Structure 1
Amino acid sequence: MQSDVLIIGGGIVGLACAAESASRGLTTILVEKNESFGMETSSRNSEVIHSGIYYPTGSLKARLCVRANHNIYSECECHNVWYNKCGKLIVAVTTDEIPSLEKLHTRALANGVEEIQILDPHDVHKIEPNIVCTGALFLPTTGIVDSHELMKSYLTEAKGYGADMVFNVEYLGVNQSNSSYQVELKDANGEIIKLNARYIINSAGLRSDKVAESFGIDIDEFGYRLHYNRGHYYSVSPSKSKTISHLVYPLPHERLVSVGIHITIDKGGRIKLGPDTEYIDSTVPETEWYKFDDSRREFFYSAVKRYFPILELEDLSPDQVGVRPKRVGSEKEIKDFIIHEEIDKDLPGIVNLVGIESPGLTCAREIAREVFDILKRNHSDIK
């Protein structure tokens, strides 16, 4: 088998890369070890279209998120993907949180976030009468999207341009051969498949560091090693869900380990709370990652009741657990996406996407465009 481009990983970013690759006239194969697309991080999250407010100015997260927020709604319209541009409040609950809110506003302006507004408690009460705060930022361009529909739209687009999507196929390793790479894969029957590709895009999500390591990269030296971070979500009773019409967030963790336990709204109009944040010990088997720990209920309740006081403990029901691929050290400093062609490591044509956590869902297509813009600068056969 031979292909211009091999994409490892069928989450939302891998699918967006496949669509971008095939649309540029490149023969494209995507391989995914699971039986379908987007079965891990891409389908276990808040489904929020972010604005770009949180991330350090000039970072990939900030630059790509602001661009994505500008483009994604029209792209959803074009592909009939459901979304709700409901807007979002970031609230300061106490007066001593106001300076942090102001700092966030300054960052938003520096990042180019559009239409942001500063609200006082009276303004907030007008649009969310059940939210209590001392001040807030309102982000009208933030919303929610049906992540499955968005992924399916990228899948359909990629296939329409001739890309092949292969599921139940595991990546095993790679050898460099002149101007291409020989990749070894294994299908569900245990059969070994050999494939030659000129370009490889590592979009393996939770395993992207291990794939990068298989290329011979020292993932500790270059900061590629990942630490898995688990987050729980609770659903809120229908009666209380009817009382909220916007996303509502507290102030984020200083180093963005978390943006706080927040209120989101799903496609059916039910509100959810989450996620919390917990680094998974390396001794915990993967089969245990997604088990719901309901002992967290009171913690969630207390965290959200600060700004949503009509919430009662019995309103909460277990919903889901997601796992995020955080770069090691994220708890100490804000870590950016890694989007890097490994020319400096004598691996031209290999692009690693590592640490693609939030706002990866929002940025998926912009990440894909970034990948192929990088390749275009370095390779004359990329359009």
Structure 2
Amino acid sequence: MESVGAAVIGAGVVGLACARALAQRGIETLILERNDAFGRETSARNSEVIHAGLYYPTASLKARLCVAGRRQLYAFCSTRGIAHRRCGKLIVATSSAQESRLGLLQQQGEANGVDDLQLLGATAAATLEPELKCSAALLSPSTGIIDSHALMLALLGDAEHAGAWLALRSPLHGGSIEPHRIVLEAGGDDRLHLHAAIVINAAGPWAPQVAASLAGFPPALIPANFHAKGNYYALAGRAPFSRLVYPLPAAGGLGVHLTLDLGGQARFGPDVEWLADPPPRTAVGEFDYRVDPARGKAFYAEIRRYWPALPDDALAPAHAGVRPKIAGCAEPAADFLIQGPAQHGIAGLVNLFGIESPGLTACLAIAEHVVTELGLD
């Protein structure tokens, strides 16, 4: 049976950031990934937005780690030459009845430490974006976009340079919690039995299933598991805006918004498509990432609230992602749930539950938080 200082389960952006943080502290680190490449699930199927941190309840993990992570991420991108752009974002009120909500959102952002928000009237917003129709807007200059694949490649490169290694096609089959160590069984046909002093459960949508597969972990501490699919549609032709444009937040997400990639292509989405009943607690499965062209029909009315000039038949299916949720569609949005030894009493184990947006923005700060939970800072 092999031994390792730390095993990170999941090679998405958060798992890679955690592996980097551990390896850079001299801990022998193995990254277990069930797919044939890193970042194949949530981390590669999102808006690639660097969020400022204005949406989340004050003092929540999402607020704290997003604001800290955004600053760290911009610095990391600049130092490492990772493609990104601080393009800014406009959150828009499309009627006078919505304008008070913009003011509340500004107050929330400022309470979270976002110090550059600007409330604009219709004329000022149209000066910035002539195609935009709104009664008022909140400008977030610190919002940006990033090449998420390049970010993950840099995180993996740092981790490997510090001695970590990535094991692809190595799903976790289960494990057990023993005194002073955790035993894992992973791999394909040639399964590996592994002793690890530290285990980071960064399995994204399947983190609750991973925790349930560890014999000896208290089932009562595993949150409910829900999945919400988000579909994106690409705009044919030139993007009409130079900044991101978001409506006010909607149930389950941030509304059908316009994002840009670094090549200037505009995408709209995601919507919120709650998937079928929560999967069995121990079942790790696959998602259907196909985008139904018919769902795009509902996008036109939403987009035309702030961009009336959207042409007919201008949207085509692009891609889809799945948010790892720990609260259902009828419940308030949940905070990140990061369980370390102080929460569950098991030395060396950290579970990362419900790491949806702003997980990409917060990845470096989440890794630091994990290190702190382990008493390694």
> How many angstroms apart in 2 are the aligned matches of 1:375 and 1:350?
8
Q: Which residue of 1 is the match for residue 130 of structure 2?
A: 129
Question: Aligned AA for 1:37?
Answer: F
Q: Which residue of 2 is the match for residue 279 of structure 1?
A: 274
Greater mean deviation of Cα atoms: 282-291 or 302-311 = 282-291
> For each residue in 1:169-200, what CA deviation from the matched residue of structure 2 results, as whole angstroms up to 9, or x when unmatched?
0111122332111111122xx11211111010
Contact 1:223 1:328 in 2 (8 A): no
Question: Aligned AA for 1:214?
Answer: S
> For each residue in 1:157-176, what CA deviation from the matched residue of structure 2 results, as whole angstroms up to 9, or x when unmatched?
00000101110001111223
Structure 2 unaligned spans of 5+: none
Q: State how 1:161-180 maps to structure 2 within 5 Å.
A: 161-180=162-181
Q: Which residue of 2 is the match for residue 264 of structure 1?
A: 259
Q: State how 1:172-321 maps to structure 2 within 5 Å.
A: 172-187=173-188, 190-215=189-214, 216-217=216-217, 221-222=220-221, 224-239=223-238, 241=239, 243-253=240-250, 257-282=252-277, 289-321=288-320
> How many angstroms apart in 2 are the aligned matches of 1:46 and 1:344?
32
Q: Which residue of 1 is the match for residue 321 of structure 2?
A: 322
Q: Which residue of 1 is the match for residue 58 of structure 2?
A: 57
Instruction: Give me the CA root mean square deviation.
Output: 1.6
> How many angstroms apart in 1 are the aligned matches of 2:260 and 2:312?
19
Contact 1:247 1:265 in 2 (8 A): yes
Question: Aligned AA for 1:308?
Answer: W
SS in 1 for 2:17: helix
Q: Which residue of 1 is the match for residue 35 of structure 2?
A: 34
Deviation at 1:286, TM superposition (A): 5.5
Question: Aligned AA for 1:334?
Answer: A
Greater mean deviation of Cα atoms: 149-158 or 335-344 = 335-344
SS in 2 for 1:196: strand
> How many angstroms apart in 2 are the aligned matches of 1:74 and 1:364?
13
> How many angstroms apart in 2 are the aligned matches of 1:342 and 1:172?
23
SS in 2 for 1:238: coil
> For each residue in 1:184-226, what CA deviation from the matched residue of structure 2 results, as whole angstroms up to 9, or x when unmatched?
1122xx112111110100000111010111234455x436221
Aligned residues: 371
SS in 2 for 1:176: strand
Structure 1 unaligned spans of 5+: 377-381
Contact 1:257 1:331 in 2 (8 A): no
Q: Which residue of 1 is the match for residue 88 of structure 2?
A: 87
> How many angstroms apart in 2 are the aligned matches of 1:327 and 1:313?
37
Identity of aligned residues (%): 39
> How many angstroms apart in 2 are the aligned matches of 1:131 and 1:213?
48
SS in 2 for 1:360: coil
- State the TM-score, normalized to the length of structure 2: 0.95
SS in 2 for 1:104: helix
Deviation at 1:265, TM superposition (A): 0.3
Q: Which residue of 2 is the match for residue 379 of structure 1?
A: none
> For each residue in 1:113-168, what CA deviation from the matched residue of structure 2 results, as whole angstroms up to 9, or x when unmatched?
12110000011011101001011100000000000000000000000001011100
The list of structure 1 runs, each at least 4 consecutive aligned residues, that deviate by more than 6 angstroms after superposition, is none
> For each residue in 1:246-277, what CA deviation from the matched residue of structure 2 results, as whole angstroms up to 9, or x when unmatched?
00000002xx5110000000121010000000
Contact 2:184 2:193 in 1 (8 A): yes
> How many angstroms apart in 2 are the aligned matches of 1:141 and 1:343?
34
> For each residue in 1:53-77, what CA deviation from the matched residue of structure 2 results, as whole angstroms up to 9, or x when unmatched?
0000010000010111222111101
Question: Aligned AA for 1:70?
Answer: R
Contact 1:87 1:139 in 2 (8 A): yes
Contact 1:297 1:313 in 2 (8 A): no
SS in 1 for 2:360: helix
> How many angstroms apart in 2 are the aligned matches of 1:99 and 1:112?
20
Q: Which residue of 2 is the match for residue 45 of structure 1?
A: 46
- State the TM-score, normalized to the length of structure 1: 0.93
> For each residue in 1:59-113, what CA deviation from the matched residue of structure 2 results, as whole angstroms up to 9, or x when unmatched?
0000010111222111101111100110000000001011111111110111111
